[in-house]
Amino acid sequence: MAGGALKYRHLGRKSSHRQALLRNLVTSLFEHESISTTWPKAKEAQRLAEKLITLGKRNTQAARTKAQAVFYKPVELMPKLFNELRERYLTRPGGYTRVLRIEPLKEDQAPSAILELVDGPRDMRFAMTAKTLVKERATEEGVRDLTAKNIIKVTRFREGGQEELERTVRALESRERDEERRAQGALRRKVYPVKDKETGKYIRMNK
């Protein structure tokens, strides 16, 4: 119907090709927990991924049959869905995936995005929040209200989220201190030209 709500994106493919594409994207997502693709594909794959995790939380024979029909690698991914991911999202009411816009990946400048499973090892928002926290703690103003809200978002349903965030922040702070020490050490080093006895040419020698 003209002017009606968009039920789903066709993605320029007929039904069978569209389903194969989405199955492939979702299989890669559950295997790697984060994938890059175009924005429309990410949004459609997100819908299918959310349904799969809901099936995983139900953990019935009917749910397993439906999930197995989606994955291209059921032997590897069925145990992950009905064990690891089911436990991860057991208390989360929804929002198991996240789509983040990024710079276009291809020359045609098509809108691109990252599709990821939240609260996992490759959760980009968790990593970005940790980096922001490091920067703001080093300022006189301290942690902003927006950052405080993001901390709640990324740790609320993550098991041991607050402790893991603090560990990540301490690791980043330690890395920054090491980089600063190396940079200061490089500045203190002086370079003197030394003449090579055999060739008669000057070489650079650090002291």
Q: Is the pLDDT of residue 37 over 70?
A: yes
* pLDDT tens profile 77-124: 999 999 999 999 999 999 999 999 989 887 778 889 999 999 999 999
Q: What percent of the chain has pLDDT over 90?
A: 68
What's the mean per-residue pLDDT of the chain? 88
Q: Is the pLDDT of residue 5 over 70?
A: no
Paired with 36 in beta bridges are 114
Residues 6+ apart with CB under 8 A from 12: none
Mean pLDDT calculated for residue range 52-61: 96
AA letter at 155: T
Q: Is the pLDDT of residue 194 over 70?
A: no
CA 106 to chain centre: 20
How far apart are the two ends of the chain, measured CA to CA in Å? Answer: 77
* pLDDT tens profile 113-160: 999 999 999 999 999 999 999 999 999 899 999 999 999 999 999 999
What are the Cα distances from residue 93, in Å, to 40, 156, 157, 191, 205? Answer: 25, 12, 9, 61, 63
Tell me what pLDDT residue 190 has. 59
Q: Is the pLDDT of residue 27 over 80?
A: yes
Tell me what pLDDT residue 81 has. 97
Q: Which two tokens stand for residue 89?
A: 């999202």
Cα–Cα distance for residue pair 79/141, rounded to 1 Å: 47
